Amino acid sequence: MEAPVRIENRAQLIYLLTEAAELEHGIMCCYLFSAFSIKKAVSEGVTEEQLAAMNRWRRSILQVATEEMTHMALACNLLTAVGGKPHTQRPNLPTSPQAYPPTFKLQLKPFGRETLESFIFLERPEGENSEGVDMTGTDDAPRSLVFFNDIFSSERQYATVGHLYRGIQDGFRYLVQKHGEKGLFVGPPDAQIAKSFFGVPGLNPVTDLASAIAAIEAIVEQGEGASGDNENSHYGRFRAIGEEYDQLLNDDPDFCPGRPVVDNPYSVLPQDVSDLGSISLLDDRMTVQIGSLFDACYEILMQIISRLLMHTEETEKQLALLASVSIDLMTDVIGPLGEALTSLPAGNAHPGMTAGPSFRFTRDGAAAPHRVSAWALFVERLNEMSAYCGILEIQGSTLPVLGRVKSSLARYAKQLSEAA
């Protein structure tokens, strides 16, 4: 068993909760990318039987990705509860070796057996090994000398997501002993995001030690399962997909469920990725523009979710609308555009390969902190993106989803404008 993650003060707790929220966000993007890359028709070289299995896998992975978003929201509720700030930013992918402990190697890769094995590894229970997972380069980065009683918030070494959360859980218990519940839980419960907006079980405000422990247990059990044997956990679901994948591959050695998507595709080079050799820079003109549209839509989605997580003067009706728009953005814009990108050419630099979404974040990607200005910017940006879809159509894009995305974005802008 790995050494425990030690937390001695509130600053360290906030630091690790921030890292947890960031990890959940990054892992979610990896899962979405993989799901978007799965083939969708027999015309792509699969049988009806294989396609039925692949459709089940896609639904399962998308459900897991949705649950990762819930985990991020729970981590943000925990942050708010102890006086921290909800955190929805993250490094662009692939992450550098310095971003997280060595075992966390987050990158955008299409669906396949190797990618699936990396997901199983990410969700593994504490004590499981890394057999079958490429860990090249993960131990190369220098690590800080860390003292448990460090006065400044600092990195902690953990091997699994569950290991991190167990340390956070122990930290809550210790800090309640140190400060008392009233002294630790100083954040406003009504500023947190609740299940009433999304209908997600377990997404409850954190107000005391019991509710904090319940939130952490929900995250860990949904990820690795209770004692690692929960078939409905992320770990269990990915293993089940792997077993069915192996059976289909045994029946047909040429079985290939994933589209020929490049790794880590970008329309524009990200500023915070250290290994530019790991980036696949797209160079098909229309694909680059669709990729940039996706990134803009993803950024506004995360800004709206950020506003939900740190709302101030919004009414219950306005919060419900933000939640509704964020769900619609995911299902009617992000999903269709993400899947469409995996069918578009990556460009001359990548012959025979297709593109994919990069989920690119910019430095100014955070939502505005004030309600009036935040809502005004949401409306302005949604209208700009809707107009951009029209420009792409004029330029000759025949992408079927573009018209639907254009009208959806305009509709969200109108809804928010009327409710602001």
Q: How confident is the model at residue 364 (pLDDT cuts 50, 70, 90)?
A: confident
Q: Tokens in use for 196?
A: 């009433």
Lowest mean pLDDT among 28-37, 174-183, 218-227, 411-420: 218-227
pLDDT at 154 over 90: no
Domain range summary for the chain, segments of one domain joined by +: 1-259, 261-420
pLDDT score recorded for residue 202 = 80
| Contact by Cβ (8 Å): 120, 220 | no
Mean pLDDT of the 148-164 span = 78
Six-digit token pair at 209?
A: 């030690």
**Dist. CA 374–CA 312, nearest whole Å:** 11
Average pLDDT over residues 340-351: 98
* Residue 391 and residue 289 in contact, taking contact as beta carbons nearer than 8 Å: no
407: which DSSP letter?
H
Where does the pLDDT of residue 186 fall: very low under 50, low under 70, confident under 90, or very high at 90 and above?
very high
Kindly tell me if the per-residue pLDDT of 153 is higher than 70. no
- Cβ atoms < 10 Å from Cβ of 417: 15
Position 318 scores a pLDDT of: 95
The contacts of residue 373 (CB under 8 Å, 6+ apart) are none
Rounded (5°) CA angle 297-298-300: 65
The mean-pLDDT minimum among 177-181, 218-222, 326-330 falls in 218-222
pLDDT digits (tens, 9 = 90+) for 13-28: 999 999 999 999 999 9
pLDDT reported for residue 146: 56
> How does residue 12 score in pLDDT terms, banded at 50, 70 and 90?
very high
Beta carbons within 10 angstroms of residue 237's beta carbon:
22
Supply the angle between the helices 316-329 and 401-419 in degrees, to the nearest 10: 170
**Closest listed residue to residue 284, CA positions, set 267, 303, 308, 259:** 267
Same fold, 1-259 and 261-420: yes
Report helix, strand or coil for 124: coil
Q: Who has greater pLDDT, 47 or 232?
A: 47
| pLDDT 10s digits, 297-315 | 999 999 999 999 989 899 9
Residues 6 or more apart whose CB falls under 8 angstroms from that of 360 comprise 92, 266, 267, 268, 270, 295, 298, 299
The mean per-residue pLDDT over the stretch 257-267 comes to: 98
CA 4/CA 243 separation, integer angstroms = 33
d(CA 100, CA 276): 18
Structure tokens belonging to residue 298: 């993803």
Q: Which residue has the higher pLDDT, 400 or 129?
A: 400
The arrangement of secondary structure in 261-420, i.e. its CATH architecture, is Up-down Bundle (1.20)
**Cα 94 from Cα 264, distance rounded (Å):** 7
pLDDT at 131: 53
What contacts 124, CB < 8 A, 6 or more positions away?
160, 224, 228, 235
pLDDT band at 98 (very low <50, low <70, confident <90, very high): confident
What pLDDT, on the 0 to 100 scale, is given for residue 155?
A: 66
- The confidence score (pLDDT) of residue 135 equals 47
The single residue listed with the structure tokens 């630091």 is 15
Say if residue 207's pLDDT is above 50: yes
pLDDT score of 198: 80
* pLDDT over 60 at 138, yes or no: no
Greater confidence, 210 or 131? 210
Average pLDDT over residues 81-110: 93
Burial of 194-207, coded b for 16+ CB within 10 Å and e otherwise, reads beebbebebbbbbb
CATH superfamily of the domain spanning 1-259: Ferritin, core subunit, four-helix bundle (1.20.1260.10)
420 three-state secondary structure = coil
DSSP class per residue in 379-405: HHHHHHHHHHHHHHHHTT---THHHHH
| C-beta of residue 125 within 8 angstroms of C-beta of residue 227 | yes
Helix (H, G, I), strand (E, B) or coil at 344: coil
Q: Grade residue 132 by pLDDT with cuts at 50, 70 and 90.
A: very low
Share of the chain above pLDDT 70, in %: 92
d(C-alpha 233, C-alpha 227), whole Å = 11
